Amino acid sequence: MNNLDPEVARDPEHLVVYGGRGKAARSWRDFEAIVAALRGLGEEETLLVQSGKAVGVFPTHADAPRVLIVNAMVVPKWATDDIFWDLEARGLTMYGQMTAGSWIYIGTQGILQGTFETLAALARTEFGAPDLAGRWFLSSGLGEMGGAQPLATTMLGGVALIVDVDPRAIERRLKGRYLDEKAADLDDALEQVQRAVAAREPRSVGLLGNAADVFPEILRRKITPDVVSDQTAAHDLMVGYIPRGYTVEQAAEARRKDPVAYRLGVQASIALEARAILGLRARGAKAFDYGNNFRTQAREAGVADAFDIEGYVPRYIRPLFEVGSGPFRWVALSGEANDIARIDRLLLSEFGQDEHLARWIRLAAEKVKFQGLPARICYMGYGERERFGHRVNDLVRDGELSAPIAIGRDHHDTGSVASPYRETEAMRDGSDAIADWPILNALLNVASGATWVSVHHGGGTGIGNSIHAGLVVVADGTPEADRRLGRTLHNDPGLGVARHADAGYPASLELAARAKFRIPRR
Ligand code: NAD
């Protein structure tokens, strides 16, 4: 219900939560059937959900999950867009994205925090700095996900110049205060950026324009940003990337009239932008691909060295995954913002020595508007999540929180996903496409007593490209919940450490050697 709250979901009428067509239930009839089954569910029963449809309630036991979910799984040879979407149209399956069909999406706070974490890791890796103070970031795209870029940059003290071809995207981000300013033109934009960088002041500037024009022009002027990326919806050539010379409306018309010529125009523009990014990179800018398949499209458009632009996971996020750290989140089932504020205080007092975490929590409390049930997200690692879970359960037990808390995470996490274009790109041992791990992850979370567990196919990078798992565990203040929280919140990130240790990452091997789990010798 929270995933489909009008404040949370992108298109609740069609049950679409986020990420293209990522849905929470197959149809409204299925939604009603799921809700009815949950209302009548006994404490020793488990509901099975097959791609958004309730298919059975089975006798289990109190420590077993109350719901088991599998979404969009097809036999590998059938895992193509054409076959999958045909099966979907025939009502046989549902695309669940990552947290849409597993019921733990919390709105735009997720991508804001993910972008904040990526840029913070970039600052540490590239500049040996805790933040982006005195640095500037050039990117494009102020859409659903890309719109988080300016605010994440300023939260880290940096300066962002974000180009978007759609004036509505700029206005929307100004209105939501994700973006500080709109520039009159490129001269004005660069002047504002240079002034803010010199003063080391956080500032974000939106510029109306096409990245395929603006990026090459910045290169031509011999101006070099510290960081450069692209967050247009380039994964979808037909609608996600507007070719140069067109407004959004003109592009819609051109694509309808002559799709083949339109597509060629898109590819030519992507190639121009990619060459500019590579040129800026050659002059010292730190360039990265932020999971929109930009490099693949550029390579197909003829930019042979597009993959010199590194993926954000291998370069920035993997070191976090190696130590079991990933996007962890919790939701106040009371609907009371005060419950989240109380947990924010708990984090600051118990985990406040982690300056990066404390910075996020303070800024999120100030800047994030809740959507649907109040929630909070942050990256937490092996050991920390378990400690946090016990403390939250104590607060529920002691009446300091007004209702139970649902604790979960994204499928984009340390031990829960196989996705060779994103989370498992360029694994040290070449195990990018090995998908045993997310299945083991789901099985382990079932054995550990999570409240609901999910396995999905195709989230993030699309059908055929990923397999991933999720869990949610509810802290209701009881001793039974405390044991389940301890097991799941230890084992789930623990498996991430084991997965990376198996791939030979030294930090994971070192952490595994002193962990509560064991890796058998061979
Ligand atoms: P969106 O469709 O909501 O927004 C895309 C924006 O790009 C639009 O505002 C559009 O006007 C603008 N744009 C298109 N072509 C342009 C051009 N040539 N120049 C300037 N602006 C242009 O998409 P979104 O939800 O923001 O997602 C962006 C991409 O990020 C997608 O490819 C998505 O798959 C990917 N993504 C990555 C992650 C991650 O974790 N890294 C997460 C989610 C999504």
pLDDT tens readout for residues 430-460 = 999 999 999 999 999 999 999 999 999 999 8
Ligand 1 near 49 CB (within 6 A)? no
Q: In this model, does residue 38 exceed pLDDT 90?
A: yes
Task: Report pLDDT for 237.
Answer: 86
Ligand 1 near 340 CB (within 6 A)? no
Ligand 1 near 292 CB (within 6 A)? yes
State the distance from the centre of ligand 1 to the C-alpha of 165, rounded, in angstroms.
11
Give the integer Cα–Cα distance in Å for 100 and 411: 11
State the distance from the centre of ligand 1 to the C-alpha of 234, rounded, in angstroms.
7
Q: In this model, does residue 10 exceed pLDDT 90?
A: no
Task: Report pLDDT for 245.
Answer: 97
Mutation pick for ligand 1 pocket among 16, 18, 164 (CB with most ligand atoms within 8 Å): 164
Atom of ligand 1 nearest to the CA of 292: 32
Minimal-distance CA residue to ligand 1 atom 9: 143
- Report pTM: 0.93
Residues 6+ apart with CB under 8 A from 290: 115, 118, 229, 230, 231, 312
Residue matched to tokens 């999950």: 65
Strands 45-50 and 67-71: what pairing?
A: parallel
Residue matched to tokens 């700095």: 129
Inter-CA distances, 418 with 86, 255, 288, 485, Å: 24, 34, 20, 25
Q: Mean pLDDT over residues 100-113, rounded? A: 95
Q: In this model, does residue 461 exceed pLDDT 90?
A: no
Q: In this model, does residue 236 exceed pLDDT 90?
A: no
In a domain? residue 259? yes
Go through the chain and tell me how many residues it has. Answer: 522
**Residue of 208, 227, 313, 378 marked catalytic:** 378
Any bridge partners for residue 53, and if so which? 50
In a domain? residue 99? no
Ligand 1 near 211 CB (within 6 A)? yes
- Per-residue pLDDT reduced to its tens digit, 127-179: 999 999 999 999 999 998 899 999 999 999 999 999 999 999 999 999 989 99
**Cβ atoms of residues 249 and 268 within 8 Å:** no
Ligand 1 near 212 CB (within 6 A)? yes
Give the integer Cα–Cα distance in Å for 517 and 497: 10
- Per-residue pLDDT reduced to its tens digit, 462-519: 899 999 999 999 999 999 999 999 999 999 999 999 999 999 999 999 999 999 999 9
Minimal-distance CA residue to ligand 1 atom 21: 164
Mutation pick for ligand 1 pocket among 97, 138, 145 (CB with most ligand atoms within 8 Å): 145
Among the listed ranges 20-24, 73-77, 322-326, which one has the minimum average pLDDT value? 20-24
In a domain? residue 14? no
Ligand 1 near 146 CB (within 6 A)? yes
State the distance from the centre of ligand 1 to the C-alpha of 210, rounded, in angstroms.
13
* Helical axes 248-257 vs 259-282, angle rounded to 10°: 130
Residues 6+ apart with CB under 8 A from 323: 381, 382, 497, 507, 508, 511
Give the burial class of 300: count Cβ atoms within 10 A of its Cβ; 0-12 exposed, 13-18 middle, 19 or more buried. middle
Q: Please, what's the b/e burial string for 303-312 (b: 16 or more CB within 10 A of its CB; e: otherwise)?
A: beebeebbbb
Say what percent of the chain tops pLDDT 90. 95
Q: Mean pLDDT over residues 18-33, rounded? A: 95
- Residue 354 corresponds to which amino acid? D
Ligand 1 near 50 CB (within 6 A)? no
Q: In this model, does residue 103 exceed pLDDT 90?
A: yes
- Confidence class for position 378, pLDDT limits 50, 70, 90: very high
- DSSP conformation letters of 491-503: HHHHHHHHHHHHT
In a domain? residue 177? yes
Minimal-distance CA residue to ligand 1 atom 4: 143
- Residue 302 corresponds to which amino acid? G
Is 378 one of the catalytic residues?
yes
In a domain? residue 110? no
Ligand 1 near 142 CB (within 6 A)? yes
Give the integer Cα–Cα distance in Å for 327 and 121: 14
In a domain? residue 522? no
Q: In this model, does residue 12 exceed pLDDT 90?
A: yes
Minimal-distance CA residue to ligand 1 atom 33: 292
- Per-residue pLDDT reduced to its tens digit, 175-220: 989 999 999 999 999 999 999 999 999 999 999 999 999 999 999 9
Q: Give how many domains the chain has, as a whole number.
A: 1
Domain housing 263: 131-308
Give the integer Cα–Cα distance in Å for 236 and 143: 14
Atom of ligand 1 nearest to the CA of 234: 32
Residue matched to tokens 């597993």: 102
CATH code of the domain covering residue 277: 3.40.50.10730
State the distance from the centre of ligand 1 to the C-alpha of 149, rounded, in angstroms.
11
State the distance from the centre of ligand 1 to the C-alpha of 283, rounded, in angstroms.
25
Structure tokens at 112: 């804001």
Ligand 1 near 171 CB (within 6 A)? no
In a domain? residue 164? yes
State the distance from the centre of ligand 1 to the C-alpha of 321, rounded, in angstroms.
25
Q: In this model, does residue 238 exceed pLDDT 90?
A: no
Structure tokens at 483: 């044991």
Ligand 1 near 231 CB (within 6 A)? yes
State the distance from the centre of ligand 1 to the C-alpha of 147, rounded, in angstroms.
8
Ligand 1 near 317 CB (within 6 A)? no
Nearest to 110 by CA among 122, 97, 123, 95: 97
Atom of ligand 1 nearest to the CA of 166: 11
- DSSP one-letter code for 335: -
Q: In this model, does residue 20 exceed pLDDT 90?
A: no
Ligand 1 near 163 CB (within 6 A)? yes
Atom of ligand 1 nearest to the CA of 145: 26
Residue matched to tokens 């920390």: 384
Minimal-distance CA residue to ligand 1 atom 2: 233
In a domain? residue 315? no
Any idea what the Cα angle at residue 450 is, between residues 420 and 51, rounded to 5°? Answer: 55
